[in-house]
Amino acid sequence: MPTLNLVPATAADFRRLAEKRLPRRLFDYIDGGAYDEITMAGNEAGLRKLRLRQRVMRDVSSIDMSTELLGESWTMPLALSPVGLAGMMARRAEVQAQRAAAALGIPFCTSTVGICSLEEIAAASDRPFWFQLYMLRDRGAVAEMLQRARDSGVSTLVFTVDLAVVGARYRDTRNGLNGGAGLLGQLRAGLLSYLSHPAWLLDVGIRGKPHVFGNLADYVPTANTPADFKDWVDSQFDPSVTWHDIEWLRSQWNGNLIIKGILDPEDAVAAVRAGADAVIVSNHGGRQLDTVSSTAAMVPRITDAVGNSATVLMDGGVRNGQDVVKAVALGAQAAMIGRPWIYALAARGEQGLTAMLENFRSEIHVSMALTGTTGLDQLTPEILDSETPGSTHAG
């Protein structure tokens, strides 16, 4: 079936459509990972190898997928992870994502380096959303953004801690996004690629302006494109950050605090001691340090380490509702998706994202019914088949 005529049903389908629609360097930015992309592939493989234990003749006429995360009620254990530059992939993508997520009753988390500002997203929906922030060298800027978040109705701050330095993403090097491709390479990867994607050029390139980092525009007033922000953003990543800085952050922020980028049980315990209400087991989608463990492999260990002292969420490799069920069975309270939601928006806009999220909900429902479970509290390691490493079922 030709790709353009494809009726998308899965995240992989939306990925194929997004690849056709987006200029190459933009698609590679959201699709790629660090170095040889071993961890990126391992995240998906870690979930795919888990096997569900099918159970029959159970009353599954009433299934409840709802959950409560940090004092807020949601319709299913799924959230949208922060994606930088999202508004370059679809017109005002962060606004579209918030509307779609709010309509389905799940959290959306916007990125520090998103195109749409906190204020623009807040105006799109009455539902709350989450804000992801980095520890910048300019602590005054951090404090100002925290106040803007409060003023925009944000009650949950997601603080990313695995970006002390930026991992090498070789796709970005090859297509010239990081510079260094020479004049001809820059022309081929940049301008000519944009011109060869007229649908994107009109919808996003022209109608989707302004293409600035809405949350950072005040700090780089001369910037007109995301590339104009690069030197300032790169200079702001702070490799000297320690848990003491998170304690300072906790003193500045009295709302919910989630630490994202935890991949070690000791770090999870340290995050809780520093004041985190929750941690996200994450390796940045395989975009930072390659050859580290998959998030699925680390969730049980981190859940055991923090016990009931913090909520545990997971992202990385989640591609369908069955992966969400597996993540909860491993010990996470909810799963988060990044690439799937931006693929769907890039391919088919808000309607496409809504359709994909509806598919996730249906897949969760079917998977729960056919494992004989009717509530999230029943999604335990017992629903994983005995061939799954770490399963408690011996049958």
Cα–Cα distance between 209 and 206 in angstroms, integer? 6
- Strand ranges of the sheet holding 278-281, from the earlier edge strand across to the other edge: 78-80, 334-337, 311-315, 278-281, 256-262, 156-160, 130-133, 109-110
Q: Active-site residue among 211, 284, 365, 393? A: 284
Residue 320 identity (one-letter amino acid)? N
Active site residue 284: yes
Instruction: Residue count of the chain, please give it.
Output: 395
Cα–Cα distance between 67 and 73 in angstroms, integer? 6
Cα–Cα distance between 149 and 153 in angstroms, integer? 6
382 C-beta neighbours (distance < 10 Å), count = 15
Closest CA to 385 of 365, 362, 367: 367
H runs (alpha helix) in the chain: 11-21, 24-31, 38-48, 93-104, 118-122, 139-151, 170-174, 182-189, 191-195, 198-200, 230-236, 243-252, 265-273, 295-306, 321-330, 339-370
**Cβ(332)–Cβ(32) below 8 Å:** no
Q: Which residues pair with 312 in a beta bridge?
A: 279
Sign of CA dihedral 131, 137, 138, 143: positive
Active-site amino acid positions: 284
